[in-house]
Amino acid sequence: MHIENKTRVCAIRVNACPEEGTGAVRARGFSLVELLIVMAVMLIIAAMTTPITLNTMDAYKLRGSMSSVSGLAQRCRVLALQKNTTSHLYFTTNAGAVTMYCKANNDPTQTLQTSDPQLRLDTRFSIGTTPSTTLNATMMWGSSGSTFSSNSDPYFNSRGLPCSAPSAGAACSTINGYVYYLKYSSHTTRWAAVSVSPAARMQNWFLDSNSWGN
């Protein structure tokens, strides 16, 4: 009876019974081949998902930075209204980084000061060039007759409207829209733009293949 019970328990618990004459319990682990297969599958999954993750992070970074760009442009517009004068939004490159700052056009010191409204972008941004597919007035504002300048520093008059560049210290009156392109070079090359309509409406744009959208 004792032997039969032992046999029955061993049948239920496979590989858990001691070998005859040794008293040792047999335990089965993973073989080297099985471990290599698992590692290979994990590497394949990582290789497939890493580019997607990096592209998602780049898109998030680009949109966040462009929100800051349009935010500074709006702040420069408000500065013109508050001071009842013309304001100038500078786009420059300083120490390899795109830097934007705002000055009243009648300010005798037009160089960047620590007290000026300003924004320094990631070094992966660059300015001064345009993509192969550019924006036009109809795409941006639905009006083909609207005049605008590309990659030129925006100005805002005392009413907060974008205007053509005046002479230093002078006020501007000619209403003119703007669009400024920014290139983002990371794992892939991306393009973005900030536009200011003649009515002072600001929008961020992003190039997807050959199509611009918000």
Ordered per-residue pLDDT tens for the chain, 214 residues: 454 554 444 444 444 455 555 555 566 777 888 788 888 888 888 777 667 777 788 889 999 999 999 999 999 999 999 999 999 999 999 999 999 999 999 999 999 999 999 999 999 999 999 999 999 999 999 988 889 999 999 999 999 999 998 887 778 889 999 999 999 999 889 999 999 999 999 999 999 988 999 9
Q: Is position 122 within any domain?
A: yes
Is 185 a domain residue? yes
Whether residue 31 lies inside any domain: the answer is: no
Q: Six-digit token pair at 120? A: 């320094």
Cα distances from 36 to residues 30, 32, 42, 191, in angstroms, run: 10, 6, 10, 42
Asked if residue 16 is part of any domain, the answer here is no
CATH number, domain containing residue 76: 3.55.40
Residue 170: inside a domain = yes
Is the whole-model pTM more than 0.85?
A: no
Q: How far apart are CA 48 and CA 42, in angstroms?
A: 10
Residue with tokens 């319990």: 25
Residues comprising the chain, all counted? 214
Q: Quick check: is 43 in a domain? A: no
- Residue 131 inside a domain? The answer is yes
Residues of the domain holding 175: 67-213
> What is the number of structural domains in the chain?
1
Instruction: For residue 104, give the 3-state DSSP assignment.
Output: strand
Residue 3, in any domain of the structure: no
